[in-house]
A and B are shown apart, each in its own frame.
Chain A
Amino acid sequence: MIHTAFVSLHVQAQGPLIERLPDGRLLIEAGGRKVAGHPAPQESPRACGWKAAIAAALIGVGTLTLTAPQAQADTLLNVSYDPTREFYREYNAWFAEWWVAQGNAAPTIQTSHGGSGAQARAVIDGLAAQVVTLALASDIDQIAARSDLIPEDWQARLPNNSSPYTSTIVFLVREGNPEGITDWDDLIAEGVEVITPNPKTSGGARWNYLAAWGYAERNGLDPQDFVAALYRNVPVLDTGARGSTTTFAQRGIGDVLLAWENEAYLALAELGEDQFDIVVPSVSVLAEPPVALVDGHLTDETRALATAYLEQLYSPEAQAMALRHYYRAWDTSAADPADVARFPEVERLSIADFGGWAVVQPEHFGDGGIFDQIYQAQ
């Protein structure tokens, strides 16, 4: 390795190093001769310790963030389905105040929204929810079956089959109903475009499907053919109910949206009463979106919080809130009468009429089930 030796202040020689002399000088070979000289004068090194300190601090912050426990004692994660965003935003704020008024520390409540089926799979895959509030019992059954997070008898633990409110399926059409849609059989007409989400990922989509199936059975049509014809008129399947609403309402795709009742009212309220109309079909489903504790993710501290969170959904104030958000709640004692009177009468078929989710889910929506057969055939 070539070194520079300073023979004097202004005379340097360069060459390969032979050895370092005991007095600190370098002995190098330059131009065929051996030359001894001092090494280059070094400036006092500026303290670059501060750079190292900053780097260490950043890495420290990073490590702390990464290893921070994902849930503290008073954190609650509510994994919910798609259309409940607005409702839970209000409920979470109310519940946090109520919890503090009971003499506890202020809780941190987080929510995640998405298609009900997709959310159930996420919980199975490790999403650390303390409570789940999904679109249908089958999804929570899936969590109970495929992991040991929820006991099998979860549905009996809370009133009304663990459903603090119910809903149903209605049609949302463009203002003035230009296609003249009044009932399910108008949906299979030529040229009508129907928007509904993907039953594989969305709970609402499965209620839609069952409502159509129920109508066909009631009216003497072959249900599988009817539903197949319906899905032939569906141009796009979004993953969740909100995605379908966006496609219909904001992207202007489709003539009719099969929507949760609360989602339809919400679309009217948010996007304009004069843009859409709600059409109530002759027959629909009793959609019961249940809630459950995820025992597997509860600690002693969070169990009380989570239990209270679900129980308070049945309280008069929360029920009034649900009614305000267009859900058909049970307890109308604290509610605004206008909210209660809003809902039209409609004959609603319950899941028991179809044989229960244990039968319906694998037969219709499982791998290779009837929905797969219908959709593949296109």
Chain B
Amino acid sequence: MVARPFTLRNPTPMPGWGLSFGIMVTILSIIVLIPMAVLLWRGFIGFGAAEMWEVVNRPRVWSALELSFRAALVASLFNLVFGVILAWVLVRYRFPGKRLIDAAVDLPFALPTAVAGIALTAIYAPNGVLGAPIGEVFGLRVAYTELGIWIALIFVGLPFVVRTVQPVIEEIDRETEEASATLGASRLRTLTHVVLPMLAPAALTGFALALARSVGEYGSVIFIAGNLPNVTEIAPLLIVIRLEEFDYDGAVAIAIAMLAISFTLLLAINLIQIWSRRRMGAV
């Protein structure tokens, strides 16, 4: 075997390298790279890491970050469980209105966040259609509490898990399930020990996407959260407040903190995915 020389790109007769790569890199730089670089420059060099830490290391900021991530985690876990169930129901079962439901799952993608926000607020407010009965029966306030934030984030993240798991379920070979059944496993055991591990990587991917989306979500949450500092104030709102006070440095500090925690989370999830693929086999 001849050792392959180190190349940056394998030569190929395919045309369009220059144009496509050029467009890609140009627009990527203008839209993503340069703004991010300016943010990091402004934060680390313009303001300073120590000063940024001083801004972030306050109870109100920690509360907001904690709230944003905790609520996103709860909502994404719910979406993970419910999303897998829903994907299963949509692929394996037939019932009237299935097409409608299947299309409706994409609604949170297509519906603007502000619309979702005020609609959910209207419903779950203490005098709302669902908020009033819930208040009477369970004694729970939904809007303007953390529970309301959970509901808004569940709405926002719903399609992610469903849409990543659905194709995988469609590809599952029934023979595997049948084999499991012939070997004496109950249906439940087959589902948990044979089917679920096959879905795990896709489900985790969907979970990661839902998490990433929920952590930074602003439009749908801002109406239904109470925005009380240390209680129901989400981190993006803190950034907006700093901006309105024209405290750019403070805003940058909180933004970088959010980015750092997001990346750590996503990195952790990527590592879990790699581990799970190795352990349970790629689908």
**A-to-B contact residues, CB < 8 Å:** 1-2, 114-115, 117-118, 121, 125, 198, 200-201, 235-239, 247, 250-253
Residues on B with C-beta less than 8 A from A238 are 227
Question: Is B197 on the interface with A (CB-CB < 8 A)?
Answer: no
A239 pairs with B144, CB closer than 8 A:
no
Nearest-Cβ distance from residue B140 to partner chain A, whole angstroms: 15
Q: How far is the CB of B229 from chain A (nearest CB, A)?
A: 6
B227 touches A118 (CB 8 A): no
The answer, among B13, B126, B246, for a CB contact under 8 Å with A252, is B126
Q: Which of B243-273 contact A (CB under 8 A)?
A: 244-246
B101 at the interface (CB under 8 A from A): no
Contact at A247–B244, with CB atoms within 8 Å? Answer: no
Are A118 and B228 in contact, with the CB atoms below 8 A?
A: no
Q: Mark B218-249, 1 if CB is under 8 A from A, else 0.
A: 00000000111100010000000100111000
- Count of chain B residues with Cβ under 8 Å from any Cβ of A? 14
Q: Which B residues between 70 and 93 are near A, CB-CB below 8 angstroms?
A: none
State in angstroms the CA–CA spacing of A179 and B55 once bound together.
37
**B228 and A201 form a contact (CB under 8 A):** no
Q: Is the CB of A236 within 8 A of B13?
A: no
- From A2, A117, A235, give the contact of B228 (CB < 8 A): A235
| Pick from A115, A236, A250, A251: contact of B244, CB under 8 Å | A115
Q: Is the CB of A118 within 8 A of B226?
A: no
The contact sample of 12 A-B pairs, CB cut-off 8 A, is: A114-B244, A117-B245, A200-B245, A235-B228, A235-B229, A236-B227, A236-B229, A236-B233, A247-B226, A252-B144, A253-B144, A253-B228
Q: Is the CB of B226 within 8 A of A201?
A: no
In the assembled complex, the CB of B113 is this many whole angstroms from the nearest CB of chain A, namely 19
Contact check, A251 vs B144: say whether CB atoms are below 8 A apart. Answer: yes
Q: Is the CB of B244 within 8 A of A201?
A: yes
With beta carbons under 8 angstroms apart, the residue of A201, A247, A250 that contacts B245 is A201
Determine if A247 and B13 form an interchain contact, defined as CB atoms under 8 angstroms apart.
Answer: no
CA gap between A247 and B241 in the complex, in Å = 16
Give the residue name and chain of the A residue nearest to B228 (CB). Answer: A236
Which one of A115, A125, A247, A250 lies within 8 Å of B227 (CB-CB)? A247
Bound-state Cα–Cα, A239 to B226, Å: 14
* Contact (Cβ within 8 A) A121 B144: no
Distance, CA A118 to CA B227, complexed state (A): 19
Main DSSP-derived SS at the B contact region: loop
Nearest chain A residue, comparing its CB with the CB of B227: A236
CB pair B144–A118 under 8 Å, yes or no, is no
CA distance A258 to B233 in the complex (A): 22
In the complex, the chain A residue whose C-beta lies closest to that of B232 is A236
Q: Residues of B at under 8 Å CB distance from A?
A: 13, 125-126, 143-144, 226-229, 233, 241, 244-246
> In whole angstroms, how far apart are the Cα atoms of A252 and B241 in the complex?
21
Minimum C-beta distance from A273 to chain B (A):
17
With both beta carbons as reference points, the residue of chain B lying nearest to A253 in the complex is identified as B226
B244 close to A239 (CB less than 8 A): yes
Q: Which residues of B contact A114 (CB under 8 A)?
A: 244
The answer for the CA separation of A144 and B126 in the assembled complex, in Å, is: 46
Contacts of B241 in A (CB 8 A): 198, 239
Nearest neighbor of A250 in chain B, beta-carbon distance: B125
* Residue from the list B143, B226, B233, B246 in contact with A121, Cβ < 8 A: B246
Known: A253-B226, A253-B228. A1 touches B13 (CB 8 A): yes
A251→B241 CA distance, assembly (Å): 19
Q: Which of A1, A114, A236, A238 has the most CB of B within 10 A?
A: A236
Give the nearest-CB partner of B246 in chain A: A121
Among residues of A, the one whose C-beta sits closest to the C-beta of B245 is: A200
A204 to chain B, nearest CB (A): 15
Chain A residues near B227 (CB-CB < 8 A): 236, 238, 247
| CB-defined contacts of A1 to chain B, threshold 8 Å | 13
Most chain A beta carbons < 10 A, residue from B13, B144, B227, B244: B244
Given A118-B245, A236-B227, A253-B228, residue A2 in contact with residue B13 (CB < 8 A) = yes
- CA gap between A252 and B141 in the complex, in Å: 11
Measured CB to CB, the closest approach of chain B to A40, in angstroms, equals: 16
Q: Which of B126, B226, B227, B241 has the most CB of A within 10 A?
A: B227
Residue of B nearest to A235 (CB): B228
Q: Can you add 14 more A-B contacts, CB < 8 Å, to A198-B245, A200-B245, A201-B244?
A: A2-B13, A114-B244, A115-B244, A118-B246, A125-B246, A235-B228, A235-B229, A236-B233, A237-B229, A239-B241, A239-B244, A250-B125, A251-B143, A252-B126
**Closest partner residue, chain A, to B229 (CB atom):** A236
**Nearest CB of chain A from residue B149's CB, rounded to whole Å:** 14
The 6 residue pairs across chains A and B that have the minimum distance between CB atoms = A1-B13, A121-B246, A118-B244, A236-B228, A200-B245, A251-B144
Which residues of chain B come closer than 8 Å to A115, judged between CB atoms?
A: 244
- Chain A's closest residue to B243 (CB) is A118
Kindly report which residue of chain A lies nearest to residue B141, judged by CB atoms: A252
Chain A residue nearest to B241 (CB atoms) is A239
Q: Which residues of B contact A235 (CB under 8 A)?
A: 228-229
In the bound complex, residues from chain B placing their C-beta under 8 Å from that of A198 are 241, 245
Complex interface: chain A residues within 8 A of B125 (CB): 250
Nearest CB of B to A118, in Å: 5
List the A side residues contacting B13 at CB < 8 Å. 1-2
Q: Once the chains are docked, how many angstroms separate the CA of A268 from the CA of B232?
A: 27
The CA-CA distance from A121 to B229 in the complex, in Å, is 24
Min Cβ gap A200→B in Å is: 5
Contacts of A239 in B (CB 8 A): 241, 244
Cα separation A43 to B143 with both chains bound (whole Å): 63
User: How far apart are the CA atoms of A198 and B247 in the complex, in Å?
Assistant: 14
Chain B residues near A201 (CB, 8 Å)?
244-245
How distant is the Cα of A248 from the Cα of B223 in the complex, in angstroms?
A: 14
Residue of A nearest to B12 (CB): A1
